Every structure is written in C-alpha cells, then in structure tokens.
Amino acid sequence: MKRIAVLGLLAVLGLGAFAQVPLVQDLNWDCVRPVYIIAGDFNADGWDDLAVACHSCNTILVGLNPGSATCPVPCPVAWSAPKAFTLPDSPVALAWGLVFVPYEKKGACEYKDFYEIRIFTATQYMPGWTSFKVADPTGLKLATLPTVTATHITLADFNGDGILDLAVLDSLGLKVYFPTAKIDPIDLSPFAQVCHVAFIAPGDLDRDGDVDLVVASNNSLLFFENECLGKFKFKTSIVLGHMLRGIAVADFDDDGKADLGVVDPAFSAFTYVHNDGCWRFSVAQRIKLDGEPVFIVPADFNRDGKVDLAVAEYSGDRVTLLVNLGGKFGVERLIPVGKDPISLAVGDFDRNGIPDLAVALFGGGPAGTGPAVQIIYNPMCATDDCTKKAPCCETGTPTGPCK
C-alpha cells in the first residue's frame, strides 16, 4: 500500500477553498527526474489517470487510476505500478487529447476515420515527437523535428479544421513548429533571446474564434494572433519580470476575455495580466512568492464559480493556492509537498466532482528524496451541505475500509 501522508496547511487568508486538511498521497514511482505531469482519462473508464515525463531515464510513466466504488471520498486507494513507455531521448513535456485518425487503406483492409485518446510528447537532445495510446507497445519511435531542441508543447485546433494540432517550442532555434498540421513555423528570433524561451500557451485572446498563442520569453510575454487557419502574426508584447516560466490562460474577472496568470521564478512572483481588449494587456496584480514559482494551473478549487490558481514553488517545496476574489487574487493556502515541485496537473482523482492536484517532484524518485509524484485530494465536501461530511472527511485521517 502506498503511503498516504496527511499534511497540515498554513491558512493565510482562510477563505475556505481547502477548509479541511487535505490528503496528500505519495506515488513512489521509479521516475528519474520527473519534469512534467498531466492528468486525464487516458483509457476512457471514467477515472482520471496520470502520465509523468521522466527526463533522465528517457521514460514516460502512465499510471491508471484504480478507482473505488466502495470507499467514501476523499479516500485514495493504492495505485498499481505504472506502465513505462521508453523513448530514445529525454522527454520535456506532455499533452493529451482526443485526436482524429484519418481513413487508411492497407492492402485489402480499409480503416475508417475515427477518434482516439493519445498522449503526446517531445524530446530535448535528439529533437523528435511522438503520440501513443496506453494500450500501445512500450517502446516508442520518434518522428524527427526540424528543431535544435524542444522545450515545451501544447495541443489545440490552430487551423480550425476540428482536429487538435501539436505545437512544439524550440528555445534554441527560436521557433514554434506544428508537426501534425500544415502550418508555417512561427519565427521568434526578432522578439526572443536564445535559451530564454520557456513556455507556450493557447487561447482565443481576441475573441474571434481562432486559437492564438502566447509565448513566455525571458522577461516578456509575446502575443501571436491567429489571423486565419493557423496563419500567425506577432501582435504585441508586455514586459513583466525577470525570467517568465509558466502561463495559465482563463477569464479571471468574468468579462468574457481570456486573461493570463504568469509565474516568474527569478523574480519569485505571480502576475495577473488583464486582457483589456483589442490586443491591449495590463498588469492587474502582482503577488510576491518566496519559493521560486515555476508552474501554474487554473481550476475552480472552491466551487464558487470563479477560476482559482495553483502554483508550484520549486525551492519552497510547496504548492500555493491563489483564490479568485473577483478581479484580484489572495494567497489562501501553502501546501507542503515533496522535493522540488516542478509541474502540476488538475484532475478529479476520487471522482467527487471537485478538482484535485497532482505534483511532479523533480527532486524525488530514485535519484532524489521522497516520492516522484504526489496527489493532493481537495478536501471540500462532495455535498453542497458541507456539514454532511463523508466518513473519511471527519478528521482528515482515513478510517475503516479506507486505511
């Protein structure tokens, strides 16, 4: 049985998103230097699973959620050993989605068009990309990328054909490539510095129905407008800090426009960038975070209808919850986690309708200290009346069949 640690929280504002002590579950997977984690229902069984990129052992581990029909929530059960997918090089990032598989004819056999769930990755030193199903063979082959390296990836329908496209960021060659679609690469060289381009994020920033792109480059955000069917044009930029890393795109103030949450580990800060419309952006708020924030994800953690944020603070060994107060954010919780949290994923791992978090720990696993992955179960009650706590919510400690 995997160890389940119950960790206390520091309530800074006590605004209720995590009114009770959360359960933090250790997953002691054999992942050497985990760098990226994603969550999703990869095998279509109704439970959110996990995939983690293990940079130093050229492996992607996929853990399938065991689920539980009998254990009251939040009561994590032991996860089985993950399935290891090996690569010829080091994976840097992951994405997943329901992708289109076109008609194909092989000899006398014909295969109709269909959709299937696939996980995507790109590799760093021998730049390539691949996608796979959890039922595929574990040895994966790479399709070569015309890049110097790969830094980050994302999936979105950039050319408006209803099919998800892969975008790969090259921080040395200063380009964004689209290897699965007929879209011209985006040249970042007039606007960015070599090695200082860290993250790309999709979003409809001008409300025209097309998916635009924002790039974190050194101390600036670079905005690229999708003019039509994947034809990108540089639109504007905004200077924020020292070395921007993670980006979250969501409408934080309910005005119908996509805003941005950005973290800067060099400046140790979170910045809320407001979308003023017509490709104008302004700094709405900045919060100092002392633990080197490197990753950020959005979700409605307290079920009040507003988009909150969770931030991984690398050197602080914690996850910070930023609650949306309507037009500004407040620091609600500092959740202690394992060594060097580097990536976060949102999922409903106990299937109670409330978002939980998964954390990839760069300093954990066989080459480090403690677990490679942890799951933080949101302790909010599953019922609207929070006085009706599930049996395992009473003290935050698993009891009875949940041990």
Residue 16 has what pLDDT? 52
Within its chain, how far is the Cα of 273 from the centroid?
A: 19
Residue 114 has what pLDDT? 78
Residue spans of the domains in the chain: they are 23-105+115-377
Residue 360 has what pLDDT? 98
Three-class SS state of 134: coil
Closest CA to 116 of 42, 40, 46, 167: 42
Q: Which residue has better confidence, 350 or 68?
A: 350
| Segment 113-139, tens digit of pLDDT | 678 999 999 999 999 999 999 999 999
Beta strand 341-347 pairing with 329-336: unpaired
Residue 69 has what pLDDT? 59
Give the residue-averaged pLDDT of 13-27.
Answer: 67
Residue 229 backbone dihedrals phi, psi, to 5 degrees: 55, 40
Predicted structure pTM score: 0.89
Residue 330 has what pLDDT? 96
Confidence of residue 110 (pLDDT cuts 50, 70, 90): low
| Segment 355-386, tens digit of pLDDT | 999 999 999 999 999 999 999 998 875 444 44
Three-class SS state of 56: helix
Question: What is the CB-side half-sphere exposure of residue 359 using CA atoms within 13 A?
Answer: 32
| Under 8 Å between Cβ of 242 and 267 | yes
The torsion region of residue 160 among left (phi > 0), alpha (psi -120 to 50) and beta comes to left
How far apart (Å, rounded) are the C-alpha atoms in residues 219 and 81?
A: 40
| Under 8 Å between Cβ of 128 and 145 | yes
How far apart (Å, rounded) are the C-alpha atoms in residues 98 and 106?
A: 24
Q: How far is CA 24 from CA 20, 74, 379, in A?
A: 12, 10, 10
Residue 211 backbone dihedrals phi, psi, to 5 degrees: -90, 115
Residue 380 has what pLDDT? 74
CATH classification code of 23-105+115-377: 2.130.10.10
Closest CA to 258 of 312, 218, 221: 221
Beta strand 4-6 pairing with 23-27: antiparallel
Residue 62 has what pLDDT? 98
Residue 159 DSSP symbol: S
Lowest mean pLDDT: which of 58-72, 105-119, 274-288, 346-360? Answer: 105-119
Q: pLDDT over 90 for what percent of the chain?
A: 76
Residue 103 has what pLDDT? 65
Q: What is the pLDDT of the chain when averaged over all its residues?
A: 87
Residue 25 DSSP symbol: E
Q: Which residue has better confidence, 341 or 104?
A: 341
How far apart (Å, rounded) are the C-alpha atoms in residues 272 and 388?
A: 36
| Segment 156-182, tens digit of pLDDT | 999 999 999 999 999 999 999 999 999
Residue 136 backbone dihedrals phi, psi, to 5 degrees: -70, 165
| Under 8 Å between Cβ of 5 and 334 | no
Give the residue-averaged pLDDT of 3-13.
Answer: 35
How far apart (Å, rounded) are the C-alpha atoms in residues 35 and 141?
A: 20
Confidence of residue 18 (pLDDT cuts 50, 70, 90): low
pLDDT at 111 over 90: no
Residue 139 DSSP symbol: B
| Under 8 Å between Cβ of 258 and 251 | yes
Residue 325 has what pLDDT? 96
Question: What is the CB-side half-sphere exposure of residue 73 using CA atoms within 13 A?
Answer: 20
Confidence of residue 100 (pLDDT cuts 50, 70, 90): confident
Give the residue-averaged pLDDT of 224-237.
Answer: 96
Closest CA to 152 of 29, 235, 85, 244: 244
Give the residue-averaged pLDDT of 93-111.
Answer: 76
